[in-house]
Structure 1
Amino acid sequence: MDILYLDQTLVAVHKPAGLLVHHSRIDRHARHAAVQLVRDQIGQRVYPVHRLDKPTSGVLLFALDPGTARALVEQFSAGHVRKQYLAIVRGYTQETGSIDTALTERLDPIADAQADRDKAPQTASTQYRCLARVELPHPVGRYRTARYSLLELRPRTGRQHQLRRHLKHIFHPIIGDTTHGDGRHNRFFREHFDNQRLLLAATALQCLHPTSGEPLRITAPPAAEFQRILAALGWSDRIAPHPEVGHGP
């Protein structure tokens, strides 16, 4: 994997779509996981401090020791870490918006057998900004044309599948989402663009370096297969990093 940042306490990589962060009983047949691949690549143990869904690509941060891991987990839990994503969704969205819809934790019958099944919905907040729109002369479903939006997403909380569920909630599901998406539009992208993935990418992460206390900003462009879809839709020039987020520590 591409290493985006590395020092004595942290490593950040560009996780490809389709790779688990760590092995799970939910996907017992997966042969590889990011934890093991990064460990083998840099030759030392790594500690996950956050997650990306298996089908999501992009910036993934690990600590290199337990103390650093605890400090980073505290930042994530306190909402002090800024994350930025890029997504292609169905339909024309508003220019900007905020989705503030509580989400119920979805439990796996095996992995979460001992979890509280009566847990109240958790607050969840996502801000978005529309970067581009396109209308294609192809009928999908009952419409004669197909409309899509390119969004910059900024989750303010980190709930399970939050972005995918929030975009479904406002009737703009992410393309390629086989769980929360629209099968007709997913099929259209497979047939016309040979798209085989969820079109959601974690493009930036910003936190305080747990050792120096200085701001740490890490960015990654969308993966090559994502960029190919952007180019096909005429959006290659719409993915410059937001001015608040840049490279380096």
Structure 2
Amino acid sequence: MLSILYQDETCVVVNKPAGMLVHRSWLDKHETQFVMQTLRDQLGQHVYPVHRLDRPTSGALLFAKDSDSARALSMQFEAHKVQKSYVAVVRGYVLDAQKQLGKRRIDYALKPKLDKIADKFADPNKAAKPALTDYECLATVEMPFVAAVRYSTARYSLMRLTPITGRKHQLRRHMTHIFHPIVGDTTHGDTAQNKAVLAHTGVSRLLLHAHALGFESLIDGSAVQVFAPLDDDFMAVMKAFGWQAWAQDLQRLL
């Protein structure tokens, strides 16, 4: 059963588990559990996905309850009226030149990511599209375990990430672009760091979580803010890194 974070007559927000696909796909023929089908059965009605989260990403996921609401909510996304905020754990200290924490922006165009099967006939030379991500380093830690041969310790940062655009794997690709890959990312990440965190915490999941979602109510136009709690695995890493207090403080950061 999915955890429902918010619900009204037009939409519902759930806390998507890491590793769960949003909907059925012929690319994953052996999967049997999907967020959309599970939520449909849970509510006893059809639901319409308004946006997506990558399979390994957890957190707040919005569905509409009818096609008209789906269109209206999609228009909010297109008009950049929806606020999305993610929390992530990345390799290294993400600090500015003065060694200070603060908000910064990644402005780096991304070429479309093509699937070998689904995009078999797509043009592989498509131009890169503009991609913007705001990021803020919330906390840092140096852990006494080896993640690389050259060092006897490993450094990590707790990040707040805000995608301004919505390119495929944007947050993961942008953090790798600035040399701070997200821990647990098996596609764009650092294998040595992933193994080190797994050995120290027992957690292998992608440490990327959609912790906050804000949009306009279709009922009365009021602001709706939804917060998605971290799962047990993410919390285990937060505890191991001494960041327990941030699990509560994150709800103030939308």
Superposed pair shares fold, TM > 0.5: yes
Q: 2:168 aligned with 1:160, yes or no? A: yes
Which residue in 2 is equivalent to 1:149? Answer: 157
Distance 1:232 1:201 in 2: 17
Is the contact between residue 25 and residue 110 of structure 1 (CA under 8 Å) also seen in structure 2?
no
Structure 1 residues not aligned, in runs of 5+:
none
* Structure 1 residues 244 and 234: alpha-carbon distance in aligned structure 2, compared to 1, 3 A threshold: closer
2:4–2:13 CA contact under 8 A, matched in 1: yes
**Is the 1:26–1:108 contact (alpha carbons within 8 Å) kept by the matching residues of 2?**
no
Q: RMSD of the alignment, in Å?
A: 1.3
4+ residue runs of structure 1 moved beyond 6 angstroms?
none
Q: 1:124 aligns with which of 119, 131, 135?
A: 131
SS of the residue aligned with 1:153? strand
Q: How does 1:21-60 map to 2 (within 5 A)?
A: 21-60=22-61
Structure 1 position 155, deviation (Å): 0.8
Aligned mate of 1:215, from 219, 223, 226: 223
Matched, 1:184 2:185: no
Per the TM alignment, residue 242 of structure 1 is displaced from its structure 2 partner at its CA by: 5.1
Equivalent position of 2:246 in the other structure: 238
2:179 is matched with: 171
Cα distance between partner residues in 1 of 2:238 and 2:12: 28
Write the deviation string for residues 155-179 of structure 1: whole angstroms up to 9, x where unpaired. Answer: 1111100000000000000000000
Structure-1 residue corresponding to 2:98: none
1:139 and 1:64 map into 2 onto residues whose CA distance is 49
Equivalent pair of 2:176/2:182 in contact (CA under 8 Å): yes
1:48–1:61 Cα contact (<8 Å) kept: yes
Identical residues among aligned pairs (%)? 51
Q: What is the distance in 1 between the residues matched to 2:7 and 2:22?
A: 18
Map 1:26-105 → 2, pairs under 5 A? 26-94=27-95, 95-96=101-102, 97-105=104-112
How much has 1:114 moved relative to structure 2? 4.7
- Which residue in the other structure is 2:204 paired with? 196
Partner residue of 2:145? 138
Query: How much does 1:229 deviate?
Result: 1.0
Once the two structures are superposed, residues 68-107 of structure 1 have per-residue CA deviations (whole angstroms, 9 ceiling, x without a partner) of: 0011111112222110011000000022321110111111
Q: Residue 52 of structure 1 aligns to which amino acid in structure 2? A: L
| 3-state SS in 2 of match to 1:80 | coil
Long gaps (5+) in structure 2: 96-100
Give the TM-score of the pair, scaled to structure 2.
0.92
> What one-letter code is carried by the residue in structure 1 that aligns with 2:196?
F
Moved more, 43-52 or 26-35: 26-35
Moved more, 33-42 or 93-102: 93-102
Is the 8 Å Cα contact of residues 22 and 33 (structure 1) preserved in structure 2? yes
In 1, are the aligned partners of 2:227 and 2:251 still within 8 Å (CA)? no
Q: How many residue pairs are counted as aligned between the two chains?
A: 245
Q: Report SS of the residue matched to 2:160.
A: strand
Does the 8 Å CA contact 2:140/2:158 hold for their aligned counterparts? yes
Question: After superposition, what is the alpha-carbon deviation per residue over 1:126-170, rounded to whole angstroms, capped at 9, x for unaligned?
Answer: 111111111012222121210000001111111100000000000
